[in-house]
Structure 1
Amino acid sequence: HVQWERRKCCRDVSTGTRKLVSRFVLCGSSSQMNLKECLDECMEALDLFLNNHFNESLERLRPRVHESMYHALIYATVLEMQAMMTFQHDDISNAGNTMKSAQEVCQSLDISFNNRAFCTNLHAEVCYAECQLQRAALTFLQDESMVSFIKGGIKVRNSYLIYKELHAFIKSHSFLKGPSHVHLEGGISFGIGAFNLTLSLFPPRILKVLEFAGFSGDKEYGLSLLHDGATGMNLRSMLCALLLLCYYTFLTFILGTGEGEVVEAERLLKPFRLRYPRVTSLFSYIIMWLCTVTPLLYQAVALFEDGCKAQQTWKQFHHMCYWELMWCFTYKQAWKMAYFYADLLSQESRWSKAMYVYMKAAYLSMLPKHEARPFGEDEIELFRQVPTFKQKIAGKSPPTEKFAIRKARRYKASSPVRLPVPVLEMMYMWNGFSMISKRPELTEGMMQTLVDAEQNEYSVDDRCVIHLLKGLCLKNQGLLQAAEECFNRVFSSEKKIKFDHYLVPNSLVELSLLYIDQGRRDEAIKVLRKAKQNYKDYSMESRTQFRIHAALAKLKADPGEEEDTHL
């Protein structure tokens, strides 16, 4: 029971760098059995985690985190997921230290050629690359200094290079598959697929810089690899599926053209719904979210509320549900209920208190002046508090937080200049009008709110906000000519706008999407390039640029032409 396999990557212990060498190492059946036992136990721990037995999952993994690379990696991954949801400094630090220890376990296995099987070394390479990638994410969160950005960037590049070399190796003719190959291939598919898909989302200007540094982004190739990983029974199938689902849902709605891939997401979810049926698993969360973009909004509310009741161990899952419930009630214009969930988030979640307080104030401002405010709070005072909660993530304030702070400044004066429809404006920033496109009664309610707001005296900026949002409602109602007039009205007011410069490029993006729906491809491309090239340094610019890139990609516009054309 002895097999020979080819060694491709090893670590030069003295310098800490990776060299490509050829080496043959004896692989015995006992090591294979140990590796299989580790993988089986880690699969069981993941099943516990996804069925809401969070503490039991960690208890199953903890005894072997110092001797098994997979136990160490999965244990650290669970802690990192928790840290990213709590956003507590102690949790981030603990997850980072645990992931570093997991990496050291992988490294010790990787360099011990005399008493370890070759197959174990290959698995150690994959785990090492995954640890590098996750440590980079934590580095960006933990420290905002330039040194941390450089360190994180180095980790990302090292991880990418390891994945590339391993992928090339397992596809070579000299490679022989071992008993645990499905887990090895699943790990490599996850890494290469994640890099290709993520990089493909970046606009061409950024991607060219990344390609110069050795990265590449092919969306279809990335999706193909992730599908292969998600549909196989391997340790990374859950990660591959979650990344694909995030792309088909959140990313395509918020950073894309607002359409998403609901059918594809539901198809991918089907086996995981059977495997993890309980309402608080991550897969159930995506099922709930999908209900919000279909005619099942009321069912979504019930599911999110049930999700909060089902378990008390991970309060962070509650926060995810609160966020979605806040938007569900926003779409229904149930301002007090939406305020209630924004208030819960402001008290319990550390992700963006400035954003939560801004939303609280925005909801109160939508109520009639004579109506009593919950808890006796006053929207003007809340707006004034927003800048005091400013924070930095990865060295920068989140764009939505910066947007909220800039908008709240209007309330600093003793006689504040009120915002016309702050909730609907922020809803647009999260592409909420696409979310309700299949609910005509919700769009009709939004339109009535905008028509009522239009009766008041506002500045050019505020009137253009209303025109943009009315255009989106008219588009949802199929009144395309009227929607086009609204978007063009914003564009024609460009020189009169004083503060909200984001309105013009975003109106052009919405106009282009309208043209796409009408089959006016050349006009759409022309408008998109104008939005891309003629406007800089406005609020939420990165998000708008991502949407422009997604729309041009949908039209299959030539990237080179996109960069070189001047209008």
Structure 2
Amino acid sequence: MSVTQAAFKDGQKWDLNEEESDFEEYYDACSDHYGFDSYKTDFKTSIEHAELALQYFFNNQFDEARNILQPFAETSFYHSLGYAVFSFLEAMLTFENIEGASAKIKKCIELCQLFRKKNTLTESITSTFKKKNYSQLTDQECHAELCLAEALLMNALLTFIENDNLSGLIRGSLKVRQCYSGFRACEQIMKSREWIFDVVKDSASASTHFASGVYMGIGTFNLMISILPGRILNILKFIGFTGSKTTGLDYLKKGNREKGLRQILCGLSLLGYYLVVIAMLSDRQSDSDVQFCDEILTAQLAKYPKGGWILFLKGRLELIKGNLFAAELWYLKSVHSQITWPQLHHLSFWELFWLNSLMGNWAEAELYATYLLKNSSWSRTIYTYNLAAVKLACIQQRRTTACNITDPDIQALMLEVPAFRQRISGKSLPMEKFMIKRAIRFGAQNSDLVLPLIEQMYLWNIFKLIKANSLIADDILQTINKELVLLKDPSQTSQLYYADNRALCLLLRGAFYRQMEQPNLALQDLHDCLTQRGIKEDLFLLPYAYVESALCYVPFNKNQAISMLQDTKVPAAPQDTHGANGFK
């Protein structure tokens, strides 16, 4: 039995008795220390409970964390915020019970408003003309402002998901603007207010916890805004948003260094940026970034050795390093770490699908694709297409001549791809639109597609992993070469989409050669792609090929590479495919 098949044994019902016993002594000790039988909802106690709930949460003790927060979720804004986070994460992971999550978040917003400083009419008028004196705020009022900004952010994100029309986009954007203003106000409080140490009130501790929240909020906003395309960034600047990558990273790193309440959230934001966002959008990952992520994960694994989120990100780190088998083991550890939230498993299963696809383990890749299609609500369009693509890849690997695919399961799956299309805030997901077009192409090409799985590997920026794995690289190159040979068959050269298919193969092989540091071979294939005549639909291949050509010059003529990238006509690509190319 393989490692993957073992993960599915007994319907994913793993024995967690050992894990539960590991934390039992810790739970009892904490219970005695904080006196759960006689909670006090004063401000200091609420922060202590929030810290403890975070420890339980990242140790996969979700019920214990919820039990700490729920009793006072109606009266304490920190308890209410933590309790709302549970509902928010469940809604985001399942796309279900969004109304219930929104209700809990709105209750949290009401509590935060209740504990904020109330300005008189005179104070409201004079604040327009003179600088605010934030030292007049109590510790509790400062934290109420911070928790309000965090709650507003969750509320805005749910609005985008809940409404599939343009009004949802507008309402969500206004809420994000309000949330951003709240974090900016908290930044001013952090910089201007005098936090006086007091043994009774423990104001110094409150200052550290407050600063960690500001670092997380402002840092994340700056980071996410800074990576947006230039034309969108100009619009956001016009309406008051600003984003600096340097500021964002500096703030998150400060928050990760300090022992504040949101320290782990700052660390996770940095890991998400380097291991997910940058890994997907950039051409190269710097060694210093990888080392930095390794240091964060080492520290977090020491605190939360069985935390599902931490184990998953450790798998991402090993994947980026090119250690595919180590990555697989860490992903499976994440899956085995808890069963309370099976939706968290879907993150690992998505990664394991691509790992096994890279390694040519078609049966196991199909297993993960099938599981995601049946159990995950994120994008059934993508899952359906992936399942069809992996079945198709398995058949294409065995065939030696150009022939039509007559597998009824693949045909049925391709017909279902458009049926699951979803909209968020009135917008279709770009990758869903792309896969729907590919499913339609499958029918137009007599039930066949050219390298659908390798094409996705390229679009998801997985190609850069092949350099460290020579056997996988050889298999991918042989598959592309085989498809180019089949395209020379007279039955293929007369097809309507012959030029599109050949250009795709040339782009993929050129991108492959570039990753393997063979620029001359890469430039030859990319030139042939750019000069291919007769392309009917896949015009987006041309700007991709131009970008790949420019990147070939980076090692020995960076100025020429920059000039070529500036000349690339990214808007010539259809909206559903050029986004990643623009980021790259």
Fold similarity call, TM over 0.5 = yes
Aligned mates of 1:38, 1:183 — CA distance in 2: 12
Using the size of structure 2 for normalisation, the TM-score is: 0.82
The question of whether the paired residues in 2 share the 8 Å contact of 1:227 and 1:240 is answered with yes
Residue-by-residue CA offset, 1:422-444 (whole Å, 9 max, x unaligned): 00001111101012332222111
Matching of residue 266 in structure 1 with residue 272 in structure 2: no
Paired position in structure 1 for 2:565: 528
Identity of aligned residues (%): 31
Counterpart amino acid of 2:291?
Answer: V
CA–CA distance in structure 1, aligned partners of residues 193 and 347 of structure 2: 46
**Residues 214 and 505 of structure 1: is their aligned pair in 2 closer, same or farther, counting only changes over 3 Å?**
same
Alignment match of 2:68 (pick from 47, 60, 65): 60
- Alpha-carbon offset, residue 538 of structure 1: 4.4
Q: How do 1:342-381 and structure 2 match up within 5 A?
A: 342-368=369-395, 378-381=409-412
C-alpha distance in structure 1 between counterparts of 2:292 and 2:508, whole Å: 29
Cross-structure match for 2:484: 454
Match of 2:148 in 1: 128
User: Which residue of structure 2 lines up, in the alignment, with residue 192 of structure 1?
Assistant: 218
Contact 2:385 2:414 in 1 (8 A): yes
Match of 2:99 in 1: 93
Distance 1:235 1:532, change over 3 A: farther
Matched, 1:422 2:452: yes
**Residue 27 of structure 1 corresponds to which residue in structure 2?**
none
1:446 counterpart letter in structure 2: I
> SS of the residue aligned with 1:436?
helix
Whose helix fraction is larger, Structure 1's or Structure 2's? 2
Q: Which residue of 2 aligns with 1:541?
A: 578
The structure-2 alpha-carbon separation of the partners of 1:509 and 1:254, relative to structure 1 and needing over 3 Å to count, comes to same
CA spacing shift, 1:33–1:62, aligned 2, 3 Å: closer
1:470 pairs with 2:509:
yes
Q: Could you tell me how far 1:265 is from its partner in structure 2?
A: 1.2
* Secondary structure, counterpart of 1:428 in structure 2: helix
Aligned partner letter, 1:520: N
Q: Match of 1:144, SS?
A: coil
Deviations 1:94-140 (A, max 9, x none): 222111111111011114689x9711111100111111111111100
Distance 1:368 1:158, change over 3 A: closer
Structure 1 match to 2:45 = 37
Residue matched to 2:548: 510
Distance 2:570 2:417 in 1: 32
Q: In the alignment, what sits opposite 1:243?
A: 269
Query: For the structure 1 residues 129 and 48, does the alpha-carbon distance in structure 2 shift closer, same or farther, using more than 3 Å as the test?
Result: same
Q: Which amino acid aligns with 1:436?
A: I
Q: Quick check: 1:248–1:264 contact (8 Å CA) kept in 2?
A: no
Q: Is the 8 A contact 2:161 2:425 kept in 1?
A: yes
CA distance in 1, matches of 2:296, 2:527: 40
Contact 1:144 1:394 (C-alpha < 8 Å) held by counterparts = yes
Aligned position for 1:556: none
One-letter amino acid matched to 2:560: E
DSSP-derived class of the 2:486 partner? coil
Aligned match of 2:440 in 400, 406, 409? 409
Tell me which amino acid in the other structure corresponds to 1:165.
Answer: A
- Count of residue pairs brought into register by the alignment: 506
> 2:521 aligns to what?
482
Contact 1:512 1:523 in 2 (8 A): yes
Aligned to 1:209: 235
Q: Which residue of 2 aligns with 1:229?
A: 255
Corresponding residue for residue 531 of structure 2: 492
Q: Report the secondary structure of 1:171's partner residue.
A: helix
Conserved in 1, the CA contact under 8 Å of 2:300 and 2:310? yes
Equivalent position of 1:141 in the other structure: 161
Tell me if structure 1 keeps the 8 A contact 2:553–2:561. Answer: yes
1:532–1:243 Cα change, 3 Å: farther
> 1:384 aligned to 2:415?
yes
Tell me how far 1:534 sits from its aligned partner.
5.7
- Distance in 1 separating the partners of 2:267 and 2:158: 22
Q: Deviations over 1:207-252 (max 9, x none)?
A: 1111111111110111000111122222211221111111111111
| Counterpart-to-counterpart distance in 2, 1:509 and 1:369 | 29
Identify if the C-alpha distance between structure 1 residues 370 and 138 changes in structure 2 by more than 3 Å, giving closer, same or farther: closer
The answer to whether the Cα contact below 8 Å between 2:373 and 2:383 also exists between their aligned partners in 1 is: yes
Distance verdict in 2 for CA 1:128–1:238, change over 3 Å: same
Decide whether aligned partners of structure 1 residues 176 and 209 sit closer, same or farther in structure 2, where only a CA change above 3 A counts. farther
The match for 1:438 is 468
Match of 1:283 in 2: 310
1:399 counterpart residue number: 430
Structure 1 residue 369, shift from structure 2 partner: 6.5
The equivalent residue for 1:5 is none
> Which residue does the alignment assign to 1:329?
356
The Cα offsets for residues 472-511 of structure 1, whole Å up to 9 and x where unpaired, read as: 2212322121112222222222x53211122111112222
- Whole-angstrom distance in 2 between the partners of 1:369 and 1:329: 17
1:305 equivalenced with 2:341 (yes/no): no
Aligned to 2:403: none
* Whole-angstrom distance in 2 between the partners of 1:449 and 1:541: 25
With over 3 angstroms needed to count, the CA separation of the structure-2 counterparts of 1:519 and 1:534, relative to structure 1, is farther
In the alignment, the residues of structure 1 paired with residue 552 and residue 272 of structure 2 have an alpha-carbon distance, to the nearest angstrom, of 25
In the alignment, what sits opposite 2:4? Answer: none
CA distance in 1: counterparts of 2:522 and 2:396, whole angstroms: 31
Shift of 1:309: 3.0
* Residue identity opposite 2:188 in structure 1: A
AA at the equivalent of 1:63 = P
Q: Is the 8 A contact 1:42 1:71 kept in 2?
A: yes
Measured at CA, do residues 448 and 144 of structure 1 come closer, stay the same or move farther in structure 2, by a change above 3 Å? same
**1:303 shift after superposition:** 2.5
Which residue of structure 1 aligns with residue 323 of structure 2? 296
Q: CA deviation at 1:467?
A: 1.0
Q: Return the alpha-carbon distance in structure 1 between the equivalents of residues 48 and 348 of structure 2.
A: 32
Q: Are 1:75 and 2:83 matched, yes or no?
A: yes
Query: Residue 54 of structure 2: SS of its match in structure 1?
Result: helix
Give how far 1:370 is off: 10
Contact 1:461 1:500 in 2 (8 A): yes
User: Which shows bigger deviation, 104-113 or 421-430?
Assistant: 104-113
Whole-Å separation in 2 of the counterparts to 1:435 and 1:390: 30
2:218 touches 2:251 (CA, 8 Å); kept in 1? Answer: yes
Flag structure 2 segments of 5+ consecutive residues without an equivalent.
Answer: 1-39, 121-135, 198-202, 400-406, 493-497
Q: Which residue identity does 1:409 align to in structure 2?
A: I
Tell me by how many angstroms 1:352 deviates: 0.7
- Give the SS at the match of 2:237: helix
Q: Aligned partners of 2:531, 2:383: CA distance in 1, in Å?
A: 34
Partner of 1:105: 111
- Measure how far apart 1:532 and its partner are: 4.3
Q: Decide whether the 8 Å contact of 1:253 with 1:434 is kept in 2.
A: no
Q: Which amino acid aligns with 2:482?
A: D
